[in-house]
């Protein structure tokens, strides 16, 4: 049995993976983000409460692992940042540990068991509070040791103010420390910034998307700009990777018409339009972080047996 953890800023979700067809969520506990000893205590309690002694632990983490040093950078869980996390967890807990970024786990879950199943190259794209992603090739992450592959949300697409009358688009600051990143304009919060810029009024992303679906003028202008900003970078990623499918998750993916409109905009810009949907919203089910961690922990590759 692999004991799986999805480590987020507010909660740790837990599941037992006996096989890919037998993943059993067992609960969630608050994340002790500031206190390493308390963090370990939460993990030890979960291990002690498992139905059987796990053979290894697998973690999906809302942060990055440096592939050279193994050190973690987890902005919303300070007690993990700067640690050689796999080493420290194995030393403290006495079990083998697998670690992966949460977006990578999402991509792996969709490639092996979700909408990407059967495709050689899959991009998992998260459109929610942030813009993130992971890349899976032939059933395996292309960066199993950690790294930034798939993180298309960061890196500026707007490096200066763009004067395009009647709109002046600023280079919004991004949480990563840069300005003008895709994340800063095309996440759910970015969509809200665009709406504020265009209309000098506040609205949350759900209301903007609902207004666009109802063909209201102001939301339609916002979504038109959002699509224009996002479709070009996604087309470049598609030309680079040649994915069979882009599996889309996150809060914005719950609008099927929005993802269909984004799919049309991307396919109009790529070298090889597919004649079928490229961007596909993911289906509901088990938490993808837990599923991705289970896949890694169980040593599964597409086409293999677990």
Residue 304: its pLDDT value, please?
Answer: 40
Residue 303: its pLDDT value, please?
Answer: 39
CATH (residue range 2-102+286-297): 3.30.420.40
Residue 63: its pLDDT value, please?
Answer: 84
Confidence of residue 263 (pLDDT cuts 50, 70, 90): very high
Residue 22: its pLDDT value, please?
Answer: 94
**Domain boundary assignment for the chain:** 2-102+286-297, 115-281
Confidence of residue 162 (pLDDT cuts 50, 70, 90): low
Residue 166: its pLDDT value, please?
Answer: 64
Helix (H, G, I), strand (E, B) or coil at 295: helix
Under a CB-based contact definition with an 8 Å cutoff, are residues 176 and 207 in contact? no
Residues in contact with 135: Cβ distance below 8 Å, sequence separation at least 6, in sequence order: 107, 121, 122, 123, 124, 141, 142, 143, 149, 150, 241
Residue 194: its pLDDT value, please?
Answer: 94
DSSP line for 76-141: T-GGGTTSBHHHHHHHHH-S-EEEEEHHHHHHHHHHHHSTTTT-SEEEEEEESSSEEEEEEETTEE
133 forms bridges with which residues in the sheet?
A: 125
Mean pLDDT of 16-39: 94
Q: By C-alpha distance, which of 112, 122, 126, 114 is closest to 142? A: 122
The residue ranking higher by pLDDT, 101 or 169, is 101
Label the pairing between strands 279-281 and 167-169.
unpaired
Residue 156: its pLDDT value, please?
Answer: 75
Query: How confident is the model over 89-124, as pLDDT tens digits?
Result: 999 999 999 999 999 999 999 999 999 999 999 999
Mean pLDDT (the chain) is 90
The residue ranking higher by pLDDT, 163 or 264, is 264
The reply to whether domains 2-102+286-297 and 115-281 share a CATH topology is yes
Under a CB-based contact definition with an 8 Å cutoff, are residues 187 and 130 in contact? yes
Mean pLDDT of 289-301: 86
Residue 279: its pLDDT value, please?
Answer: 98
Confidence of residue 130 (pLDDT cuts 50, 70, 90): confident
Q: Is 3.30.420.40 the CATH classification of the domain at 115-281? A: yes
Residue 119: its pLDDT value, please?
Answer: 96
Tell me which DSSP letter residue 284 carries: P
Residue 285: its pLDDT value, please?
Answer: 74
Examine the pLDDT at 59 and tell me if it is beyond 50: yes
Examine the pLDDT at 232 and tell me if it is beyond 70: yes
């Amino acid at each position: 049995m692999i004991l799986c953890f999805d480590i987020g800023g507010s909660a740790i979700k837990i599941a037992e993976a006996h096989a890919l067809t037998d993943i059993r969520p067992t609960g969630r506990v608050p994340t002790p983000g500031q206190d390493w000893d308390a963090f370990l205590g939460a993990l030890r309690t979960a291990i002690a409460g498992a139905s059987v002694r796990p053979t290894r632990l697998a973690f999906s983490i809302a942060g990055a692992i440096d592939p050279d040093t193994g050190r973690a950078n987890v902005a919303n869980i300070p007690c993990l940042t700067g640690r050689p996390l796999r080493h420290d967890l194995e030393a403290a807990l006495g079990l083998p540990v697998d670690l992966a970024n949460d977006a990578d786990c999402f991509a792996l879950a969709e490639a092996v068991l979700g909408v990407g199943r059967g495709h050689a190259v899959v991009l998992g794209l998260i459109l929610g509070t942030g813009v993130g992603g992971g890349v899976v090739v032939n059933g395996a992450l292309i960066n199993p040791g950690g790294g930034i592959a798939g993180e298309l949300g960061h890196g500026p697409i707007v490096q200066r103010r763009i004067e395009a009358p009647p709109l002046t688009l600023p280079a919004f600051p991004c949480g990563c420390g840069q300005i003008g990143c895709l994340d800063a304009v095309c996440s759910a919060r970015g969509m809200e910034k665009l709406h504020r810029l265009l209309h000098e009024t506040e609205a949350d992303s759900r209301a903007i998307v609902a207004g666009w679906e109802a063909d209201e003028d102001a939301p339609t202008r916002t979504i038109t700009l959002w699509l224009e900003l996002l479709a070009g970078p996604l087309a470049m990623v598609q030309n680079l990777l040649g994915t069979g499918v882009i599996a889309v998750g996150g809060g914005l993916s719950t609008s099927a018409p929005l993802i269909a409109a984004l799919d049309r905009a991307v396919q109009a810009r790529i070298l090889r339009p597919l004649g079928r949907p490229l961007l596909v919203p993911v289906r509901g089910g088990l938490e993808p972080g837990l599923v991705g961690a289970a896949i890694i922990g169980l040593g599964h590759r597409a086409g293999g047996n677990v």
